[in-house]
Amino acid sequence: MRICVSAYFLKKSQPYANYLDLLQWIRDDTRFARWCGEKVNRKMSSLIELLVLGSLRYLGRGWTFDDIEEQTAISREVHRTFFHVFIEFCSTSLYSRFVLTPVHLPEARSNMREYEVAGFPGCVGSTDCTHVTTERCEYRLKNNHLGAKSSHTTRTFNLTCNHRRRIIHSTHGGPGRWNDQTMVRLDQFISGIRDGLLLQDNDFELLDYDRLGNVISVKYKGVYVIVDNGYLQWSCTVPPFTVTSDMDEIRWSKWLESMRKDVECTFGILKGRWRILKSGIRIEGVDAVDKVWLTCCALHNWLLEIDGLNAEWSEISIPGSDWEGELGDCDFEGINVRVPWSLARLSQRLDPRTLDLSGMGPGIDVSEQRMQPDQDDDTNPVGVNGVKLVKGMSLKVFRRKLVNHFKILFARNEIKWPTRRPINQMPHT
């Protein structure tokens, strides 16, 4: 009976070679020694192949241990005991293998390519918090885990990923009552960037205007992440504008929001692939909940590598609609096509406050105002050889520099949406 069930599960698990790799890693770990041979009383231990598959079903399908017992003929207590050791192994050994937090510049470079193509040089990822339902929270902790976005007890996790949906860092869980501003203070990755302990050797350039209105290139040192407006006003956590009438800021904010959806998509993939994160974690103890979350993050990154979705994307764009070509470059005046105002507004390359309707040119006061540097620009910390430090700038000033850079590249038609290289354009090997 066990052999037949084992053969059935192994046949259904794909890809089989990667399953064997996971099985070998588990057998090499001393924490699983009791399931990798005979017991002390000379009885054979339960098949570790079925125990691993049962744990994956518990995570991916939201099964109970009773369901797994019916399918494997192994008692639910054995599956429960094995599962706790399994998440301990995955949240430590497997997590350190596949979730690589970029603490050195070569590690961060591979995460920054897509953001640079999209007009955000120096960006290393996007960050946000999510809540995971915890059904068996301890009573003494229940008050802090209630509230937020759910009527159930939840744990809050702050996650950072790149544009390819690869997780590069995740915090341990916090009470569900904690918000983004609280969790970011406990995030060692983002706090390390803010304090100048991580990735401060990264150099990038932003285009800007000098006092005469000429385009110049300014060097900066450091990195930042893109977030929503629930975070603290740090220069390393850059959110979009909430209220603005400036067309450049509106366009930049919408582009940033589109890029920031990477982390939201990652949450959706995690909760869709691992049903336990969506239906609720039923094991006791908040520490076990944190281990389940880290396990799912590690397995998510591993599956990206298996599916070939971990490689860097190419800046070559797949041909899109007509609005992305020459038709999208026009000013929509004098054409016999009804253009939606939202599209025309976002595609307009002129600042509406300097738009000349009289034919006499924009006012001097307006043009000078647009070319003047920020009032507190002279107080920005400057590193060696005039390189500006991101960590020492205010969010207001640094975000204005990012907007100017994006505006100049957009006017040059050098902004591209990062996409994967089409299959028919892949180089021949």
pLDDT digits (tens, 9 = 90+) for 251-294: 999 999 999 998 999 999 999 999 999 988 998 888 999 999 99
- Greater model confidence, 336 or 117: 117
Q: How many CB atoms lie within 10 A of CB 117?
A: 21
pLDDT tens for 290-308 read 999 999 999 999 999 888 8
Higher-pLDDT residue of 130 and 147 is 130
Return d(Cα 262, Cα 130) in angstroms, integer.
13
Query: pLDDT by residue (tens digit) across 229-239?
Result: 989 999 999 99
Distance CA 83, CA 58 (A): 9
Judged against a pLDDT cut of 50, whether residue 427 lies above it is answered with no
CA distance 108 to 125: 9
Residue 243: band (very low, low, confident or very high) from pLDDT cuts 50, 70, 90: confident
DSSP states along 148-175? TTBSS-EEEEEEEE-TTS-EEEEPPPEE
Structure tokens, 156:
């809050």
Give the per-residue pLDDT at 40: 59
What confidence score (pLDDT) does residue 354 get?
40
How confident is the prediction for the chain on average, in pLDDT?
79
3-state secondary structure of 214: coil
Q: What is the distance between the alpha carbons of residues 289 and 282, in angstroms, rounded to a whole number?
A: 9
At 191, which helix (H) or strand (E)? helix 188-194
**What type of residue sits at position 275?**
R
pTM to 2 decimals? 0.78
| Amino acid identity, position 284 | E
pLDDT at 39: 66
Euclidean distance between CA atoms 161 and 266, whole angstroms: 8
Of 198-207, 238-247, 366-375, the least confident: 366-375
Higher pLDDT, 145 or 83: 83
Residue 363: partners with Cβ closer than 8 Å, 6 or more residues away: none
Q: What band does 27 get if pLDDT is binned at 50, 70 and 90?
A: very high
Q: Are 164 and 310 in contact (CB under 8 A)?
A: yes
Lowest mean pLDDT among 132-146, 284-298, 304-318: 304-318
pLDDT at 76: 92
Of 396, 377, 399, residue with least CA distance to 388? 377
CA atoms within 13 A on the CB side of 394: 10
Span 364-388, average pLDDT: 46
